[in-house]
Amino acid sequence: MIVAAFLAIVVSVPVGIWAARSSVVSAIVKPILDFLQTMPALVYLLPAIALFRIGVAPGIFATILFALAPGVRLTELGIRGVDKEVVEAGQAFGASPGRILRQVQLPLAMPSIMAGVNQIIMLSLSMVVIAGFVGAGGLGGEVTRALSAYNKPLGYEAGLAVVILAIMLDRFTGAFGQKRGLHLLKKLRSTKKADA
């Protein structure tokens, strides 16, 4: 799950930034994301098993495809949602597009980006059990073992572990995104007051 979520974040955030900066890329990416989001989770395992056979690799591959869409969408939404006046102020001071992206747009879009990261993690966790059916191991493997042996205590234990992990990661990513965004907004406000 960690590997799949990390790879999904590594792919989705740059694609989301690219889509936010180019209308053509956004128009191409949107139907692909719609397709990925409407596909049932179990269907992702079919091409994954065909490519990688049974084991960890098909679980990672299917999880990346399943979790990718919200990261791209929320990153694009966050970058597009940054106040145009702030971007224009950076351009007026002669900042390059790359610097504006790094120092203005990304920090201000951080709550939205972190919401996307949060969704990627949650969707990856929801795929853990399904990936367990193809031998991915981990908590999903424990749930699968509990189902096959009709072992209720093991099933409850593994299920609760997934839920607790999901709640912890949800709180962590939510708090991180809010802190980063609020910190930059305070900084910008203090700069405006000093200029006035």
Segment 130-156, tens digit of pLDDT: 776 666 666 666 666 776 677 777 777
CATH code linked to domain 2-188: 1.10.3720.10
From residue 130, give the alpha-carbon distance in Å to each of 37, 152, 164: 16, 18, 18
> 178-183 contacts: CB < 8 A, separation 24 or more?
178/111, 178/114, 180/107, 180/110, 180/111, 180/114, 181/107, 181/108, 181/110, 181/111, 183/107
Minimal CA–CA distance to 104: which of 177, 185, 40?
185
45 compared with 8, residue with greater pLDDT: 8
| pTM for the structure as a whole | 0.74
Segments making up each domain of the chain, as ranges: 2-188
pLDDT band for position 21 (cuts 50, 70, 90):
confident
